[in-house]
Structure 1
Amino acid sequence: MQTDLWNYCLNLYARPGVEQACLHLQDQGLDVCLLLCAAWLQERAVACDELRLGQLNACAGPWQREVVQPLRQLRTHWRKTAAHDDALAALRAQIKSLELEAEKTLLRRLESVTLGWPTAQPQDTCDWLQRVASDADHPDCDALHQLRVAINHA
């Protein structure tokens, strides 16, 4: 198992079906960085509670709204036009790189929030993925299942 969150995410995201599941959940309004962090915490058997969930959301929410989402919106807005404009395609690639760097920064911030969180006692375990996904009105159960399967086959 990878010890730091970024490398864990790279490893998990590369597994079959994970990228598609994450993109589908992202389209539903879920924060993929939070989901990947939840998977990491779950695999490490870290106890979860409302306070910790609140800390993660407080860390991720503003960064997603103010940094990641504006970059993503600009990149996706330029998708069709960039297909026929080389200069715009080059700028779009730079935006994509900035978006990835912003997500990497968020993952580092999330990891730092979790420093010192102990592993759970058996009675304190919870489903981190489900708790994070519950922020969506109707999270796609198939996509969550795909993510869960990938985690369990590490």
Structure 2
Amino acid sequence: MYADLWSFALSTYARPGCEAACLRLQAQGADVCLLLCGAWLEQRAVTVTAERIQALKHIARPWQTDVIEPLRRVRTQWRAMAQQDEDLAGLRERVKALELDAERQLLGRLEALAQTWPIGNAIDQLHWLEGLAAEDAANLDHDALQQLRVVVTNA
């Protein structure tokens, strides 16, 4: 078990199937940082509550909207042009590094909040992912969500 969320996120994301599942969920509006935090909380057997889900979302939403998403938009907008322009490719890599650093900052903020919650006492901790997945969970790719849970469970 990983003590810190950043190490857990890096290790989990590198596992086969995780990146594809996360990108599918992200395309549907899910926040991958929140999902990885949820998977970490499930692994740590932290009791899920509506208040805790809202507290995590309260931290994540503005950071995602105001910091991470603008960096991601620039990076993706430059993808095609950067293949033809070496200078732009270098700038795009720097934006990509900033985006990753912004995600690391968000994970640190989420971890700081979650560290106050007791671990190992949840009877049914397997609802973090569903609770954190998206506002409109009915339209979410539940196969991708289950794939993420399997990746984490088999770690």
Which of the five TM-score ranges fits, normalised by the shorter chain? Answer: over 0.9
Paired residues of 1:48 and 1:128 also in contact (CA < 8 A): yes
Per-residue CA deviations over 1:33-86 (Å, capped at 9, x if unaligned) read 000000000110101111111110011010000100000000001111111111
Mark the CA change 1:10 to 1:27 in structure 2 (over 3 Å): closer, same or farther.
Answer: same
Q: 2:146 is matched with which residue?
A: 145
Partner of 1:118: helix, strand, or coil? coil
Query: How many residues of Structure 1 are paired with residues of Structure 2 in the alignment?
Result: 153
CA-based RMSD of the aligned residues comes to: 1.2
Query: Distance between the aligned counterparts of 2:154 and 2:125, measured in 1?
Result: 19
Alignment of 1:17-28 (within 5 A): 17-28=17-28
Contact 1:28 1:136 in 2 (8 A): no
Which runs of 5 or more structure 2 residues have no equivalent in the other structure? Answer: none
Q: Residue 53 in 1 paired to residue 25 in 2?
A: no
Aligned pairs (5 A) from 1:62-141: 62-119=62-119, 120-122=121-123, 125-137=125-137, 138-141=139-142
User: Deviations for 1:87-138, whole angstroms, at most 9, x for unmatched residues?
Assistant: 111100000000000000000000001122013342x644101111242451
* TM score, norm. by length of structure 1: 0.95
Q: Aligned letter for 1:87?
A: D
Distance 2:50 2:136 in 1: 16
| 2:68–2:103 CA contact under 8 A, matched in 1 | yes
The answer as to whether partners of 1:60 and 1:110 remain within 8 angstroms in 2 is yes
What residue identity is the alignment partner of 1:11?
Answer: S
SS of 1:51 mapped into structure 2? helix
SS at match of 1:103: helix
**Percent of aligned pairs with the same amino acid:** 50
* SS of alignment partner, residue 47 of structure 1: coil
Contact kept in structure 1, 2:30 and 2:134, CA below 8 Å:
no
